[in-house]
Amino acid sequence: MDFKPCVTIRKEWDIVGARQLGRKHAKELGFGTVDQARIATAISELARNIYLYARTGTICFEVIDELDKKGLKIVAKDNGPGIRDISQVMQDGYSTSGGLGAGLPGVKRLMDFFEIRSDSEKGTEIEAIKWLR
Amino acid sequence: MRIPILKLHNYLLISIQIDLDDQSAIQFQEDLLNEIHKSGATGVVIDLTSVDIIDSFIAKVLGDVVTMSGLMGARVVLTGIQPAVAMTLIELGIHMHDVPTALDLEQGLIKLRQELEG
Ligand SMILES: Nc1ncnc2c1ncn2[C@@H]1O[C@H](COP(=O)(O)OP(=O)(O)OP(=O)(O)O)[C@@H](O)[C@H]1O
Ligand SMILES: [Mg+2]
């Protein structure tokens, strides 16, 4: 199985490229249609946030294959301005760009594991995992 | 990429067949409003049968299209939303309460006819 681990987000169309690649990985791993849609949607949200708020960054994929569980990990990374108040951006409806503010809280609900690390010097790194059931 | 808009009597029919990037979504919004203005259409069906992802941005554009068309006097019905898409939308927290929907294109047209011709 050829596995392309990372996509660079630089232009708007890369958002589509990232979610299509993520869906392909999810499908190959054996995720069902609904989980494929959840994963593709989560990637779309994370990639758009990179494009909008940090200009450039990467979305990387990792297959987790442990004895008792298997899953797909998504890591969204940028060197942008960072997120000062993480609890604030995790509230439904909070947006600094006139969006719905559904992105980050939505990704958390779509995925099984979700973690943000961010500071104003290094930028933002978001890790999300979906487990295969 | 431009999304074709078909005219049928007083209705406009659109079937979205591509993976919508942000630019195409915005372009579609603009094209549809212009077409409503030009044709005087009173009803619009946007069929989403082939769409396998709607994220928060596309959902916002679609919701806005419905509101904007309404302001211009045209009623929009969204049809054919896939089960997986409906589930992810709700998990994203997007409920689209005010957006008229129908199972498929045919039901969408019936709904419009009932509402517009009473
Ligand atoms: N990678 C990032 N770097 C810096 N700030 C970010 C980043 N991602 C999100 N944010 C901040 O968090 C806020 C909330 O993000 P979220 O994705 O939930 O909503 P949104 O992007 O504003 O709207 P939506 O995603 O619904 O279109 C953003 O408005 C932005 O201020
Ligand atoms: Mg967002």
Residues of B in contact with A21 (CB under 8 A): none
Q: Is residue B27 part of a domain?
A: yes
Q: How many domains is chain B partitioned into structurally?
A: 1
The range of the structural domain enclosing residue B19 comes to: 6-117
Residue A11: how many other CB atoms lie within 10 Å: 12
Place of tokens 């082939």: B50
Each domain of chain A, given as residue ranges in start order, spans 6-131
Q: Is B1 part of any domain?
A: no
Quick one: which ligand is closest to A89's CA?
1
What tens digit of pLDDT does each residue of B17-75 get? 999 999 999 999 999 999 999 999 999 999 999 999 999 999 999 999 999 999 999 99
pLDDT of residue A1: 58
| Protein residues within 5 Å, CB atom, of ion ligand 2 | A 49, 103
Instruction: Supply the ipTM of this predicted assembly.
Output: 0.93
Which residues in chain A touch residue B84, judged by CB atoms under 8 angstroms apart?
Answer: 33-34, 36-38
In this structure, is residue B107 part of a structural domain?
Answer: yes
- Provide the CATH number for the domain around residue B12: 3.30.750.24
Q: Give residue B56's Cα distance to chain centre.
A: 15
Out of 3.40.190.10, 3.30.565.10, 3.40.225.10, 3.40.50.1100, select the CATH number for domain A6-131: 3.30.565.10
Q: How far apart are CA B42 and CA B44, in angstroms?
A: 7
pLDDT in tens, A16-61: 999 999 999 999 999 999 999 999 999 999 999 999 999 999 999 9
Q: Does B72 touch chain A (CB under 8 A)?
A: no
Q: Can you read off the two tokens belonging to residue B60? A: 């916002």
Structure confidence by residue, pLDDT tens digits, A70-123: 999 999 999 999 999 999 999 999 999 999 999 999 999 999 999 999 999 999
